[in-house]
Amino acid sequence: MDMKIGTSGIPPHFWESKYSKGKDCRLNMPFWIKDIGLNAYEVLYTYGARMREENALILKENVKKTDIWLTVHAAYYVVLTSPKEDVQERSVEELFKAIRLADIMDAHNVILHPGYNGDDSEKSYNRFVSNLKLVVKKMKEHGISKPKISPEIGGKKSQLGSLKDIIRICEDVEYTVPCIDWAHLHAREDGSLQNINRFNDIIINCESLFIIKEHKLNYYPFLMLEKK
């Protein structure tokens, strides 16, 4: 298996490096990642996908020069499960903004927190899926197909995002591949990752999904570890 290991966002050590000079020095992150011997970088849009297009293009070039595996994390306030229509609409817009920038940067995945479950988990699931389908529709209208949407396992049982939920979402919606956050899964399942069998179970589950979706094997590394 080809493993990609990197950082999400900008760690404090970056600011001590020679790359941290100038106004848009964050765009140098791929060079710093390569220098410290890693090969993946996740652009973290915690508070919204705010990046000028010309900067996204610079990042794309820097990623190409360094051969870094690039992903994007959508804003934490994207809540496609929300019962409030205005929140749903804003969430669809915000997620699409992150996807559009990811496409400009030539990123592989856009990671997404599925959101809270509410009182009726089936209703939340259906809201999530129909809103996500709206995002996929927008992607098609704009001719975007490279960055895959990666719903992430949620660390709390009150959130949509069990392993079963994530697999089900990826079966139900086009352009999706799972984001397996091992730490979240361990927390959610009350410490289930005790032995290799559970890891194998999860990998086999995802593998059969990839076969169903006819993804090529090079999508396999999308099983991600997000370290917080």
Which residues, 147 to 166, sit near Zn ion by CB under 5 A? Answer: 152
- The structure tokens listed for 33 are 């990642």
Work out how close the CB of 161 gets to Zn ion at its nearest, in angstroms, rounded to a whole number.
Answer: 10
Q: 66 or 154: whose CB is closer to Zn ion?
A: 154
What b/e readout covers 72-86, taking b as 16+ CB neighbours within 10 angstroms?
Answer: bbbbeebbbbbeeee
Q: 152 or 165: whose CB is closer to Zn ion?
A: 152
Site string for Zn ion, 163-182 (x = CB under 5 A): --------------------
Distances (CA, A) of 94 to 114, 126, 139, 186: 14, 19, 13, 29
Work out how close the CB of 156 gets to Zn ion at its nearest, in angstroms, rounded to a whole number.
Answer: 13
Ranked by CB distance to Zn ion, the top (closest) residue is 152
Work out how close the CB of 171 gets to Zn ion at its nearest, in angstroms, rounded to a whole number.
Answer: 21
| DSSP bridge pairs for 8 | 42
Q: 94 or 152: whose CB is closer to Zn ion?
A: 152
Taken in order 116, 119, 121, 127, is the CA torsion positive or negative?
A: negative
Distances (CA, A) of 147 to 10, 27, 98, 104, 108: 21, 19, 10, 10, 5
| DSSP bridge pairs for 110 | 72, 149
Work out how close the CB of 112 gets to Zn ion at its nearest, in angstroms, rounded to a whole number.
Answer: 8
Stretch that binds Zn ion, among 50-58, 85-93, 146-154, 156-164 (CB under 5 A): 146-154
* Strand pairing class (6-8; 148-151): unpaired
Work out how close the CB of 52 gets to Zn ion at its nearest, in angstroms, rounded to a whole number.
Answer: 24
CA-to-CA distance for 113 and 152, rounded, in angstroms? 5
Instruction: Find out whether 74 and 45 touch, Cβ atoms under 8 Å.
Output: yes
Stretch that binds Zn ion, among 63-71, 128-136, 144-152, 156-164 (CB under 5 A): 144-152
Q: 19 or 107: whose CB is closer to Zn ion?
A: 107
Q: 25 or 44: whose CB is closer to Zn ion?
A: 44
Which residues, 41 to 100, sit near Zn ion by CB under 5 A? Answer: none
Q: 103 or 152: whose CB is closer to Zn ion?
A: 152
Residues at the interface with Zn ion (CB under 5 A): 152
